Amino acid sequence: MTTGRRRWLGCVPERPRRTLRRWSSVRSKEICVACGLVALLIADSRWLSRLPKLSTPTAGGQLVRFILTLFLSVLFAAARGSLRGALGLDPRGSLVSTYFQRNALVVGFVMGFAVIPIIYTIAEDALTAVPSALRSASLACGASRWQTATRVILPIAIPGIFSAIMVGLGRAAGETMIVLMAAGNTPVLEMNIFGGLRALSANITVELPAAVKDGTLYRVLFLAALTLFAMTFCINTVAELVRQRFRKRAVQL
Binding footprint of other proteins on the chain (CB under 8 A):
131, 133-134, 136-144, 147, 151-152, 155-156, 249, 252-253
- Report in angstroms how near the CB of residue 157 gets to other proteins at its nearest: 11
Cα–Cα dist 168/239, whole Å: 10
Judged by CB, which is closer to other proteins: 98, or 136?
A: 136
Cα–Cα dist 144/167, whole Å: 31
Judged by CB, which is closer to other proteins: 226, or 253?
A: 253
- Report in angstroms how near the CB of residue 135 gets to other proteins at its nearest: 9
Judged by CB, which is closer to other proteins: 121, or 144?
A: 144
- Report in angstroms how near the CB of residue 251 gets to other proteins at its nearest: 12
- Report in angstroms how near the CB of residue 158 gets to other proteins at its nearest: 12
Q: What are phi and psi of 37, to 5 degrees?
A: -60, -45
The letter for the amino acid at 100 is F
- Report in angstroms how near the CB of residue 23 gets to other proteins at its nearest: 47
Cα–Cα dist 17/72, whole Å: 25
Q: 96: buried, middle or exposed (CB in 10 Å: 19+, 13-18, 0-12)?
A: middle
Residue 195 region by backbone torsions, left for phi larger than 0, else alpha for psi between -120 and 50, else beta? beta
Judged by CB, which is closer to other proteins: 17, or 249?
A: 249
Judged by CB, which is closer to other proteins: 94, or 132?
A: 132
- Report in angstroms how near the CB of residue 253 gets to other proteins at its nearest: 6
Helix then strand then coil, % of the chain, to nearest 5 = 75, 0, 25
CA distances from 28 to 41, 80, 90 (A): 20, 7, 16
Terminal-residue alpha carbon distance, the chain: 66
Judged by CB, which is closer to other proteins: 38, or 127?
A: 127
